[in-house]
Structure 1
């Protein structure tokens, strides 16, 4: 048995003693065979040393290993100072991604590491001033990780909506948890159904819909989460007109967390790339959300969200759906997604020219 730096680890080695997070939670149990993704998780938690079985690693131990660990920690701290704000946001985002993936993968066999999730969520939210709902895009997104990306982005956006909508500050972090964990019930869905590239049968659709009930059951015993978080997992597919599932609740019966997460979830579900369709323009998605607010989504929450994310500044450069680049010169608050855009001296009124729309901000 020898203790070696995480940077020197290779997939396939066996852990000789349990690995703990800086806060004391068990990250990996003794005897686990490390997979490639596990190495990313170790680095995400800034674990410096791991005890492994086998003789091939005995050359790295004792004081030298300790010095290497200290040097790596110092190097990590220096790198953090040198990173741009966007790099820091992406770094904390990637750490959150590794943690939520491992949490989803282990939830059926162990308790949810709520404290670790909260600490990393707080670290990510500390970078929130650098997060733009309409323009942020994860780096190197694996399309099979869509569910985890949707959860993290829903957490950030739900946190902002809670602020904008006027919820008390004590609710903001819990709403973020609701966004982060709203799809955790998918951990119990058969992967063949969850990742099916083909249209689902009626039986498979019913199985997929069970993720809401499974999610509530999984979170029910987590004392650190309030009832709103659990209800968001159960209710995020309900509709205010009673046409949703699993209980066909109307808007007045839905928890406010559920109504907030429903908006964030739909927005990111449509703007993230999936294996079977490309990402949609966030501005077109906002228009679809607005139409959905008549009977499907909470109209006050939808309007709050749209008003806040479309507070364009005159002079903002945008790409239109026909690939032309222009500048916003006036925004009508009654039509926030369709401002006047100047393209090479020509004024384009997107309210009148409905066939055009903003693809993205340049």
Structure 2
């Protein structure tokens, strides 16, 4: 739908770049609107913005009538949000309700869990690019609810790319969905704390995989490998993880998949104590700085799936410039040669380490 900036509220999702008089967007596609964006749009005298029919928290957006333009312009136009994205946001709302039920002491309702996540998992292989961009919708306040759904879908995508059967893909996705359910047992003040955690507080947070396991261990409908994945998703190959500090051959593959998905979404999302990072920067960290901690086959699978780039693709860089891919060198899948849109200059990102690809736009 297209609305006047007066009608925007925090949480609206921008569905198309808002362009000004330069080659750089004023507000980019997938931005979750904050008060500062509304101020900027007014200063640039923008007349309309295309946004989705759902807010980032999954609730419906019903714009009020604007006094700044005729009703026929401010009215809702049926530019529908992609169905998969809408289902994702609805699932975030459902996860939020479940999370508060778990916090109140309710047991996990597996039929309810399957009803929420399995339909999305089944569609996941056809919506890879959308799933890799879900971090755009995550806000500081709703991070945990987005995280539960996003980790489930990312894990399912990786399992599918590893040629798991459909049944196994669903099991991996369910394990991802349940991996952080134990966060409901952590003091809420720690989850929303701004600033660094003390060593004691961090030790409390590190208990959540154990809490998650306790919540799922007696559910008859769950397979043992799902329970293990829930317990082990913060373990690392070198034994540096938690809660048990186990390593290598004692780790189940499902847990290794969720470990990669969990870190990817956490690092690319806006959180209370940290701003989001470029997905391609995170991929490079997984390949290099985190080497030895994560299963290399799983890491490479995510990287290869996300960097299925080709010449001619349009991309946005972390400096907000638009560019087109010219050539991809196999040794540097995250750093292709590109042509900048605003001046046709060709640069190779492997020589510009301060710049990363922010997202693929076509």
TM-score tier, shorter chain, comes to 0.7 to 0.9
1:245 CA displacement = 1.1
Match for residue 114 of structure 1?
A: 110
- Whole-angstrom CA distance in 1 between matches of 2:127 and 2:265: 18
Residues 232-275 of structure 1: CA deviation (Å, up to 9, x unaligned): 22111111011111111112111111100000000000111112
1:288 equivalent among 282, 285, 288: 285
1:159 CA displacement = 0.4
Q: Is structure 2 residue 164 aligned with structure 1 residue 161?
A: no
- Whole-angstrom CA distance in 2 between matches of 1:178 and 1:166: 18
- Taking structure 1 as the reference length, the TM-score comes to 0.73
CA contact (8 A) 1:338 1:349 kept: yes
User: Bigger shift: 128-137 or 320-329?
Assistant: 128-137
Match for residue 355 of structure 1?
A: 354
Match for residue 101 of structure 1?
A: 96
Structure with max Cα Rg: 1
Q: Is structure 2 residue 338 aligned with structure 1 residue 341?
A: yes
Greater relative contact order structure (CA < 8 Å, 6+ sep): 2
| Secondary structure of the corresponding residue to residue 350 of structure 2 | coil
Question: How many corresponding residue pairs?
Answer: 283
Match for residue 37 of structure 2?
A: none
Residues 298-332 of structure 1: CA deviation (Å, up to 9, x unaligned): 11110111011110121111122333321001112
Once superposed, what is the RMSD of the aligned Cα atoms? Answer: 2.2
- Whole-angstrom CA distance in 2 between matches of 1:163 and 1:126: 10
Residues 117-138 of structure 1: CA deviation (Å, up to 9, x unaligned): 2122122234432341433356
1:332 equivalent among 325, 329, 337: 329
CA contact (8 A) 1:317 1:325 kept: yes
CA contact (8 A) 2:121 2:170 kept: no
The 1:317/1:174 distance shift into structure 2, 3 A limit, reads: same
- Taking structure 2 as the reference length, the TM-score comes to 0.73
CA contact (8 A) 2:135 2:265 kept: no
User: Bigger shift: 223-232 or 147-156?
Assistant: 223-232
1:190 CA displacement = 0.9
Unmatched runs of 5 consecutive residues or more in structure 1: 1-39, 45-81
1:144 equivalent among 141, 145, 148: 141
- Whole-angstrom CA distance in 2 between matches of 1:125 and 1:169: 9
1:134 equivalent among 132, 135, 138: 132
| Secondary structure of the corresponding residue to residue 143 of structure 1 | coil
1:171 CA displacement = 0.9
| Secondary structure of the corresponding residue to residue 341 of structure 1 | strand
Residues 142-188 of structure 1: CA deviation (Å, up to 9, x unaligned): 42210111111111110010011222332110100111111111110
